[in-house]
Amino acid sequence: MKVVVLGAGNVAYSLCHVLLQHQIEIVQIYSRTLLSAHALRDFLGQEIPCVNDLKKVVSDADLYIYALKDDCLQGVISQIVTNEQAWHIHTSGGVGWEVFEGKKNYGILYPFQTFSKAKPLTDWCEIPLFVVTNAEKVDDSHFLVRLARSLSSQVLVVQPEELDKLHIAGVFANNFTNYMYCCAKQVLASTSIPFPVLIPLIQQTAQKIQTLSPQEAQTGPAKRNDKTVIEKELNILQSTDKTLTDIYRLLSEGIVRNG
C-alpha cells in the first residue's frame, strides 16, 4: 500500500511515525511549506519525497491521509486528483465527510488524543481510534477497519453524528480541562504561590477517574452545596477578574444541579 500524507503538523508527526512503524510505505509528504515537510521527514529519518505544490502530489497512491488544520481540509481535498479507487481519509473529529465531495472512497480516521509536535506520541496502541466511512457495509474486512486495527487495539466504528458528539466531549475533557488549569494559574498570579504546586492535585484528579465515575469523584463546595464558601470565593474573585467570577458561578451552579 502506497500512502501520501498531507500535512506536517502535530497529528502528522505522530501518524507518520506510527505508519512507518507498521511497515506502511509513505510515498510522499505534502505541506504548504517545504521547510515543515522537510522537518517532518528529518524527524522520521527516511528519504521521503516532499512537495509544497498540490499539483505535484502523485495521483497513483492507494491512500491519501489529510492531517491538516480543520479549515484547510476542504480546499486541499478538492484539489487532489487521483485514481478513482484511491481512498481519501482525514483525521479530524471536528469536520464531517462533506469535504470529500466528488471522491468515491472516503472516511475519517480520528485518533482520540491530543498531539504535539514537541513530544510526538510514538505508539497508538492505547489510543481509541474512531472510524467513519461512507461504505454501506462496514465489517471487520473493511479496508479502513483493518488499517485502524493495525494501528490501535481500540477501534470503534461510529456514525458521523456520533463523531460530532465525541469531538465535543473531547473539547470538554481536554480543551476545557486545560483551560481550568489556566484559570487556576490566573488565580494564583496575585500570590507568592507558584503554579507547579497544583500539579500533584491535577494528576490525582485525572487518576481518580480511572476507578471512579466522574459523579463519584466530584468533591468541593458546589458538590456540598456549601453556599457560604461559594459566596466567599465569588467575592474574592469579583474583586480581581470578571471572567473567572462568571466561570466559577456557572460551573458551581452546574455541579449543584448535577447533585
Residue with cell 484528579: 205
Helix (H) or strand (E) holding 231: helix 227-238
Sort residue 157 into left (φ over 0), alpha (ψ -120 to 50) or beta. Answer: beta
Residue (3 or 166) nearer to a second copy, CB = 166
In single-letter form, the type of residue at position 209 comes to I
CB of 245 to a second copy, least distance (A): 10
Decide: 108 and 88 in contact? Cβ < 8 Å: no
Q: Per-residue b/e over 9-37, b at no fewer than 16 CB within 10 Å?
A: bbbbbbbbbbbbeeebebbbbbbbeeebb
- Please, what is the end-to-end C-alpha distance for the chain in angstroms? 53
CB of 182 to a second copy, least distance (A): 4
CA distance 243 to 237: 9
CB of 193 to a second copy, least distance (A): 6
CB of 210 to a second copy, least distance (A): 6
Residue (85 or 215) nearer to a second copy, CB = 215
Residue (87 or 124) nearer to a second copy, CB = 124
Residue (23 or 192) nearer to a second copy, CB = 192
Q: Closest Cα partner for 169 from 210, 117, 132, 128? A: 128
Residue (58 or 184) nearer to a second copy, CB = 184
Residue (58 or 188) nearer to a second copy, CB = 188
Q: What is the 3-state secondary structure (H, E, C) of 118-177?
A: CCCCCCCCCCCEEEEECCCCCCCCCHHHHHHHHHCCCEEECCHHHHHHHHHHHHHHHHHH
CB of 242 to a second copy, least distance (A): 10
C-alpha cell at position 167: 469531538
Residue (41 or 90) nearer to a second copy, CB = 90
